[in-house]
Structure 1
Amino acid sequence: MPRSADRDASTAPGPRGRWLFWLLAGLALILASGVWAGGLFGLAAQVLAIRALPPDRIDGLDLGAYQVVIEARPIEGLTDNTSGLTYSPATGTLFTAINHPPALAELSTDGRVLRHIDLVGARDVEGITHVDGDRFIIVDEGKSRLNWISITPATTAIDLENSPFITLDLGTVSNMGFEGISWDQRRQELVVVQEMLPVRVLVVGGLDRAVRGQGLGIELREWRPEGWAGHGVSDLSSVTVHDLTGNMVLLSDMSSILIEYSAAGQPLSLLALWAGRHGLRDGVPQAEGVALAPDGAVYIVSEPNLFYRFDHPASAVRD
């Protein structure tokens, strides 16, 4: 037998290697199926809780009434890995995070790229949130790090080695760590979501004071929805806090939904990102970032580079 054939035979996986491969593949499939099924069961509980609310409730966004006005518009100039999203009242524009290669982009409210901003020293940027003025916070999933950055009209590149940061090392599983962040203007706190294993929402207080050199009284707590169903989703990909009401809006890619909660954790409304719902011709694939504008418009970006806008028919947000 030729030597090359000998080498092929010697490097081919034996019966034990093949058995181990199929065992691991099976376990992964069972885990994924369990996560999905658990999310579906919890989602049903959230829907029932929302339907049980009084019909005259006026304490939220009323996501169930929203309709898509921009659907699946490719973001020209961005081809891959569009992730987190935030709205800046200071500029009236959106900013999105791009994880590979690490960068940021400023977008118009109809999904056009206004500028591209390189990030030096980042590994896997998944989320961005506006704080005030030209100040933003980004989350690097690869480093479990939060960086405070400044984006002025002249900014074209940012070196993270020169920006304040804090590391939240909570033992997250690789590529299933911190996916989204949002600055809570009412409470001056940062909300961070972990993708899965476990799905959770963390609230970090005292960060801005610490960055400004006004003390190190940082507080970390976990926020959970009311009821036995917990978050009721298979994963979390983004979060935004509604400035007007203080309500929490969570985005799930695997469950393909957007859910609004009161600050106390009561589910209030739901926007399903499925084909045939809310005017969508097709479902939203891999929804990664969500942002809210002061007029109530809901913006969503999906990976790699699709842009969506949803509006309330009344063109005004309930308060």
Structure 2
Amino acid sequence: MSRPSPRKALLYAFVVGLCALFIWYFKVLALGYYWLSTTLGASQWAGNSLWLPGYRVAVEGMPIQGLTRNASGLTFNTETGTLFTVINRPPQIAELTTEGRLLRVVALDGVKDPEGITYVQGDSYVISDEDSHRMYWVQIGRDTQRVSVAGRPSLGIGIDKLHNSSFEGVSWDSVHKRLYVVREKLPMRVLMITGLDPATPSTGFNIDISEWKSSRAASLFMSDLSSVTVHDETGHLLLLSDESALIVEYAPDGRPVSMLPLWRGFNGLQRKVPQPEGVAVGPDGKLYLLSEPNLFYRFERAPAATPSPK
């Protein structure tokens, strides 16, 4: 048998290397392993979690009229029953209905690159600024038209500073009074900040920043992190990945519980979600998703099948 020419051998090596790089970067083997493990754990988790495989898309990729670009981050205000997101260029805050209709746009001064927003209580929110690596506490009332972070409480996080690959999503845990912050990549991190008083936030010596770790070293198997939200009822964490097009639900102890692939053909989706950047859960369990530049999605639990009469 003749040996392949050096040119063909080089081509084969290139293809094999490219496949290996793809498998490594997108953590294909780890994804497959945890897909199988969460599927096998359905009997344990289906009634004690959000259980993402039980969701189906109800509103898919609807453009938000009045927004044209860069919607990022998402949070649900339990008092108003509405959603809030942030926009950069120019920095703004937008309020939406649960149907994806734009209610108002609020100008945001003093923040260059807002990427995440989370509702805390009353009129209080936290906004993350990727440019300055800071979290800002702001007040947004029902009639607010402009917000400035000048003089507002803020918290700087000087860990792994890297331009445009910094802290993206934020979520307030109202049960345990702590703030979750996710770093996009290089490396991916989920930080947990405790010691914050939601009424009068302070950056004093009571603040503690720790890294949330999954109970299994490989179970952050996405290739990046773009958003986070806490489900208060279960205490479970939802992590959203743009590059992997995936939402993963984690138990409080870090065990991966379930997944929602944002790919065509899964959970009723007709098309892949192009660039998912924000996720939130309402009190009724409905799941909301934003994809840049301005696409709105809502997922709802599929109704349980009723047995047919004999």
Unaligned runs of 5+ in 1: 1-28
1:266 lines up with 2:255 in the alignment? yes
Structure 1 Cα separation of the partners of residues 155 and 199 of structure 2 = 10
Instruction: Please state how far the C-alpha of 1:137 moved relative to its aligned partner.
Output: 0.4
8 Å CA contact retained: 2:26, 2:244: no
Structure 1 Cα separation of the partners of residues 252 and 84 of structure 2 = 25
More helix by percentage: 1
Other-structure match for 1:108: 97
Question: Per-residue CA shift, 1:41-84, capped at 9, x if unaligned?
Answer: 33223212212315143220010110000000001101010000
Corresponding residue to 2:237 among 220, 243, 248: 248
1:40 lines up with 2:31 in the alignment? no
Structure 1 Cα separation of the partners of residues 129 and 23 of structure 2 = 24
Change in 2 beyond 3 A, CA 1:86/1:306? same
Change in 2 beyond 3 A, CA 1:300/1:146? same
Change in 2 beyond 3 A, CA 1:268/1:213? closer
Structure 2 Cα separation of the partners of residues 36 and 254 of structure 1 = 13
Secondary structure at the residue paired with 1:80? coil
Change in 2 beyond 3 A, CA 1:280/1:79? same
- The residue type equivalent to 2:114 in the other structure is V
1:235 lines up with 2:224 in the alignment? yes
Structure 1 Cα separation of the partners of residues 122 and 289 of structure 2 = 23
8 Å CA contact retained: 1:83, 1:289: yes
- The residue type equivalent to 1:87 in the other structure is F
Other-structure match for 2:135: 146
Change in 2 beyond 3 A, CA 1:213/1:291? closer
Query: What's the C-alpha RMSD, in Å, of the aligned pairs?
Result: 2.2
Secondary structure at the residue paired with 1:51? helix
8 Å CA contact retained: 2:94, 2:106: yes
Structure 1 Cα separation of the partners of residues 266 and 38 of structure 2 = 17
Moved more, 78-87 or 207-216: 207-216
Instruction: Please state how far the C-alpha of 1:171 moved relative to its aligned partner.
Output: 2.7
8 Å CA contact retained: 1:90, 1:134: no
Secondary structure at the residue paired with 2:27? helix
8 Å CA contact retained: 1:210, 1:218: no
Structure 2 Cα separation of the partners of residues 307 and 36 of structure 1 = 31
Secondary structure at the residue paired with 1:161? coil
- The residue type equivalent to 1:305 in the other structure is N
Structure 2 Cα separation of the partners of residues 92 and 210 of structure 1 = 21
1:55 lines up with 2:34 in the alignment? no
Change in 2 beyond 3 A, CA 1:272/1:153? same
8 Å CA contact retained: 2:153, 2:202: no
Change in 2 beyond 3 A, CA 1:182/1:102? same
1:190 lines up with 2:179 in the alignment? yes
Secondary structure at the residue paired with 1:45? helix
- The residue type equivalent to 1:205 in the other structure is T
Other-structure match for 2:59: 70
Structure-to-structure mapping, 1:147-226, within 5 angstroms: 147-208=136-197, 211-212=200-201, 216-226=205-215
Structure 2 Cα separation of the partners of residues 134 and 314 of structure 1 = 35
Structure 2 Cα separation of the partners of residues 38 and 105 of structure 1 = 32
Change in 2 beyond 3 A, CA 1:126/1:187? same
1:305 lines up with 2:298 in the alignment? no
Change in 2 beyond 3 A, CA 1:214/1:278? closer
TM-score by length of 2: 0.88
Aligned length: 287
- The residue type equivalent to 2:64 in the other structure is I
8 Å CA contact retained: 2:167, 2:181: yes
- The residue type equivalent to 1:230 in the other structure is S
- The residue type equivalent to 1:262 in the other structure is A
Structure 1 Cα separation of the partners of residues 114 and 230 of structure 2 = 20
1:83 lines up with 2:72 in the alignment? yes
Structure 1 Cα separation of the partners of residues 206 and 199 of structure 2 = 7
